[in-house]
Amino acid sequence: MTTSTARPSRFVVVFDTADPARLDEVAPAALESLGMQPDHWFPRLGVAIVSGTTAPTLTLQEAHSDVDVAVLPETTYHAITAPQTGPDSYEDTDQATWGIQAVGAVDSPHTGKGIRIAVLDTGFNTAHPDFAGRTVVTQSFIDGEDAEDGHGHGTHCVGTAAGPRTWAEGRGYGVAPEAEIYVAKVLGNNGTGSDATILAGIDWALEQGCQVISMSLGADVTTVHPPYVAAGRRALEQGSLLIAAAGNNAARSRGNPGFVGAPANSPYVMAVGAVDKRLEVADFSAQALDVEGGEVNIAGPGVAIHSSWIAPKNYNTINGTSMATPHVAGVAALIAEATGARGQELWDQLVAGVRDLGLPKEDVGAGLVTAPQARTSSGTPSSWVVTLDDSHADRVEEVAAQLRAAGMRITRTLPRLGMIHGCTEGPCSVEELTGIDGVASVDVEVAHHITPPGPRIL
């Protein structure tokens, strides 16, 4: 990751109101009343980009005192890559990369079918032979450049998230091979972009109905950047999940743990750290930043990752939290397909399903992202925590009777919490349980343990 720089002549204006419907009414009028014509207005985010010699903070706030307004200098972002390291003891197989093996994608019956993944990066090599016959929707937000990838980073990330999982002529490398691919070119062929291009890409992805938005990019800033707080929150409200690279500014072997940069340090953006083939923290992977939202939330494979690339090479093996991020995005698509989860529920299921690595949460968050597997027909029970909606929270026994009729064995009712614990065997599915009147969510029961004092071998 390269140090960010600010553009003093351009500002990001964030309008925050409890009534999102008012954004289109208030924001343009507030800017116009002060003689400001926004360079860009992103209605789904409530964010504008304006030009000027000074930040118009006070005058904007005075013009509409009922709406909170934040004004920040526009920031420059970069594709997040890390230098190659020495040989590892664990190699890819002829059939699959180590990354898609580690997250369990190779054994998952789910493919991401029907789920839209947006990759916001340097574009995509639309002529790549591995994607022949696949529909890839592209859009460029870089002035003077089309959506073709002139860098390689974007094509690599698309490949990991949604490339082929199996391939007759070589190893598979994609987590969600049947997901629908949307590519927003928000970083130029030089690997850099700005708040304006990235926010435009997020706004476009939401317009396209993408349930997962993957951003392998960042800026080395130690403060939470308000535009991405608003963007992340509004994405979740619209049933989409923003996933971003934590950053590569660490040098752990030299005693520097680094810190999570923007946009990953928003509390509403899932920050992804990287692990190597031994499932240890990558030397370059940034540690949590001590601010709200600065946590590392989850980890993915990020060292020696083989994926698609631009021509004529077509393939490349590189490192970075950028490479870990599309592993998480791909698994998010698998979970979204398998469970129907969207937005915050999808976030929760990603975190609940991780593999515990026994590593500090400051480095890997909850643990290694893991793909959903086939439901067993061996008779082994699955344990669930059922949460009732507010209108049924005092009718636990009534809902429990419906769950029993659907095939759940009730083991405990929690009337003061509006929750039910139970087990299922055989054909009963999550979709059937969530379809019962009064059920707000059904979550796999998670095992909890005393936090281990240090790394352990799994």
The verdict on whether 39 is a catalytic residue reads no
Query: What is the rounded CA–CA span in Å between residue 196 and residue 243?
Result: 18
Is 46 found in the same domain as 22?
yes
pTM: 0.71
Q: Examine residue 312 and say whether the peptide bond preceding it is cis (omega within 30 degrees of 0).
A: yes
d(C-alpha 431, C-alpha 208), whole Å = 25
| Model pLDDT, residue 451 | 36
Same domain, 93 and 164: yes
In a domain, 371, yes or no: no
Q: Catalytic: which of 322, 327, 363, 443? A: 322
pLDDT recorded at residue 88: 39
121 belongs to the catalytic site: yes
207 shares a domain with 316: yes
Tell me if 236 is assigned to some domain: yes
Domain interval for residue 438: 382-444
Residue 254 belongs to a domain: yes
At residue 268, the pLDDT reads 96
Determine the pLDDT at residue 441: 86
Give the pLDDT confidence score for residue 124 in this predicted structure.
98
- Please tell me the predicted confidence (pLDDT) of residue 8: 47
Q: How far is CA 421 from the centre of its chain?
A: 29
Catalytic residue among 92, 121, 203, 363: 121
Same domain, 209 and 308: yes
Q: Domain of 427: which CATH number?
A: 3.30.70.920
Last residue of a domain, one of 46, 74, 102: 74
pLDDT at 376: 40
Q: Does 369 fall in a domain?
A: no
Q: Does residue 98 belong to any structural domain of this protein?
A: yes
**CATH of residue 119:** 3.40.50.200
Residue 330: per-residue pLDDT: 98
Does 184 lie in the same domain as 313?
Answer: yes
Tell whether 221 and 297 lie within a shared domain.
yes
Give residue 83's pLDDT. Answer: 57
Looking at the domain assignment, is residue 211 inside a domain? yes
The CATH number given to whatever domain includes residue 35 is 3.30.70.100
Looking at the structure, tell me whether residues 171 and 103 fall in a common domain: yes
Catalytic (active site) residue 356: no
Question: Rounded CA gap, 227 and 382, in Å?
Answer: 41
Q: Which of 153, 156, 225, 306 is catalytic?
A: 153
- Assess whether 70 and 82 both reside in one domain: no
> Token pair for residue 244?
């971003």
**Closest to 439 measured CA to CA, from 401, 411, 382:** 401
The residue from 42, 58, 74 where one domain ends is 74
Count: domains in the chain: 3
Looking at the structure, do residues 122 and 12 belong to the same domain, yes or no? Answer: no
Tokens standing for residue 77: 């972002």
Do 84 and 60 lie in a common domain? no
Cβ contacts of residue 125 below 8 Å, gap of 6+?
148, 149, 155, 308, 309, 310, 311, 314
Query: Is 400 found in the same domain as 343?
Result: no
**Strands of 122-269, DSSP E:** 136-140, 180-185, 192-194, 212-215, 217-218, 241-245
Q: Of 330, 364, 398, which residue sits at a domain end?
A: 364
- Statement to judge: residues 14 and 61 lie in one domain: yes
Query: Do residues 10 and 53 touch, judged by C-beta distance below 8 A?
Result: no
Q: Is 450 domain-assigned? A: no
**Is 375 within a domain?**
no
pLDDT at 56: 56
Q: Which residues of the chain fall below pLDDT 70? A: 1-9, 17-25, 33-37, 52-67, 78, 80-91, 168, 375-382, 425-431, 445-458
